[in-house]
Structure 1
Amino acid sequence: MKEVLSILGILLSPISLFLSIWIVTPAPIYSLLPLAVGAPEVCQWLLLLNTTTFVLLLFNLQGSWLQYVGLGISVVGIILSILPFVQLPNAQQQMQLVMEKQLGQSYSRTILKQEYFGRSYPFNLIDAFKGIHIGGIRYTPSIQFAAPDGVPLHLNIYRPPQPGKYPGIIIIHGGGWQTGSPETNADFSRYMATQGYTVFAITYRYAPAYKFPAQLDDVRSALTFIQQHATEYETDVNRIALLGRSAGGQLAMLAAYQQNPLPVRAVISYYGPSNLAKGYREPPTPDPLNVRSVLEAFLGGTPDQVPEQYTKASPINYVNRPLPPTLLIHGSRDHITSIKFPRMLLQSLQAAGNQAILLEIPWAEHAFDYIFNGPSNQLALYHTERFLAWALKDMEK
């Protein structure tokens, strides 16, 4: 039996290390990107796997050099898989300080009111293993809101279980402007509905068949539809926030920073690009998505060929005007949209006198929140809830 367990440990140790190494290693090619995105977000499982492998080898040690090599490999795997946990307390502290500094006393007063509370802790290990509990909601899928050029566009609506009048969150999915659907990140939409929001998850026409600004036009069509049907869908049009991920973050910021059919009270961008020309000229290293080809498909060419397209599609070019508060959430290890771009956007927004916050997650890659119960999304969710509670609070209360 000892020999069998020892062989199992020897076999598991390199597998555990291979999975754990992506916590610190960027993906060189697209096919490996899910490993680089996912490894930090399942670090609790990797820690358990590495520890189990170490215990198997230690308690069945028979003096084989392979066993000692396996023990060493397991130790390296344990160290790698524990890194996000080591960084988490300081990351949370920094985020809390930034939120309080930028939003001031009104933010502190708002989050102290129990009716605005969501999660009471930024990270919970039990939730990381078991999943974040999501209660019952009312769900209305596949509502057509427009059909430009004969292309039907749909949205999904997530509402709290009880009828009422609720603040609204309009969610715009990512996917390089070429893929995605209203069902993307559905756990987040369902969760926010349980917290007292009407959530509209929308879509848009895709590149390369449709170039910018078709996608922004579709977002505005969705906003018009929501305004016209707000009463039917129990939404307070005076308390609306836009939230987008990746390409959707860029569209959310553009919509919030320009005139649109709804008075937007706040905008949240999860790892959204904000300076597309600079992003083209300074692609990430490594570049698993081939950022330049994605931008060319979206905008119809290079910055030299279609400079006006890059200018109009970059949120950073709209900051010199009064804008709704902006929350930027970004992984410091993002190899699709570099962390330097939201830092530049933050500086530009604040220099223009606008309220803006950047929360950096040190270990996180692009699309970190696809794993809803991972440490990165738990942190992001905690502060997103509080930002929305502050931004969309009922002024009449």
Structure 2
Amino acid sequence: MWLKPEEVLLKNALKLWVQERSNQYFVLQRRRGYGEEGGGGLAGLLVGTLDAVLDSTSKVAPFRILHQTPDSQVYWSIACGSSREEITEHWNWLEHNVMKTLSVFDSNEDITSFVQGKIRGLIAEEGKGSFVKEEDPEKFREGLMKFEKCFGLPEQEKLVTYYSCSYWKGRVPCQGWLYLSTNFLSFYSFLLGAEIKLIISWDEISKLEKTSNVILTESIHVCSRGEDHYFSMFLHISETFLLMEQLANYAVRRLFDKETFENDLVLHDPLQITKRGLESRAHSEQFSAFFRLPKEETLKEVHECFLWVPFSHYNTHGKMCISENYICFASQDGSLCSVIIPLREVIGVDKGDAANRGVSISTKGKTAFRFTEVRDFEQLVAKLRMKCNATSSPQHINTEVTALLFLDVKKSVCVVSCMRNKKAMTKQP
């Protein structure tokens, strides 16, 4: 696999790698302990453990190719391979397609620049369309390679994301990597020759929860086929648990609600499921549930701001949430204030003073809302004006309920509801 060129200090790497081939511009190396009788002894065990704990690609890609220039102490990693055949294929390609060209350059800097550009071009061609939606395509490529090598699952199995964590086997924590894919929860650890490999199907999980006890401050408890599994030491345990919960729920829906699942284009095609997409769905579901909006509403953007509350004559701090059809606000300072504004009811969006970065929204019910301290208020005003123009078509005007606002300020509840449009009422038989 071609790698994004990264600097390597060869002086510090000689103890971990063995040189097998070299020429004027490239070096082929093998990870110490791999392919040696007895696994390379104690040194091989230590290197293998180091690779597993530090998320090194060397555990599943024990061969690599470095680019070098004469009289330079800095080398560049450009390729890795899980087998001698794979890395030899890369080496032969470099000798036949790159080596002859390098001789025409006058400086080492030009040579290195050419090699880096060539490798980046190969990576872009290999991963064209495959990793575009991932947050960090290069890192995800390496994680996917480890996932495929360690577990041997079907090729169509889509890796969503992976995390560093500890798996508790009895009272002993085993440091390794948790892989979340569309159909399986998988864990891999290699410590001093002891390998742990765990594969659990999402539809076999009977319990999934966050727990804590005297030994484990926070952990994720997974129960499958009567066996309990505990994972801890996550960097962001809430984020991990949320994604695990979503994938488990989708597995259940796939079994019992096939019609709905198949109608969802993203979930029906596993290749479309990504970590970013799942997080976005979770936020949209929380948004729709909190404001009691239709489930199909998708949260587009969130802005921290202040809303002027006329009943209490002060500004309350909170978040403005915008979807395709609604502008919503929820306070965060304990005043329990929430607002729902259908975009079809908005007749005006204006900018306030630049000093207070304000946004004023007027509705058909002659109600105005004043939001201040909006970070990108000018861009927000432009976006809202475009949205309101797009939703002011006739089919959106004659609706049964044209506006619904809930204000609950310091336990004083005021409900304002604009009922049916008069034109719509006269058309009724």
TM-score normalised according to structure 1 size: 0.20
The structure with higher relative contact order (CA 8 Å, sep 6+) is 1
User: Computing the radius of gyration over CA atoms, which structure comes out larger, 1 or 2?
Assistant: 2
More strand by percentage:
2
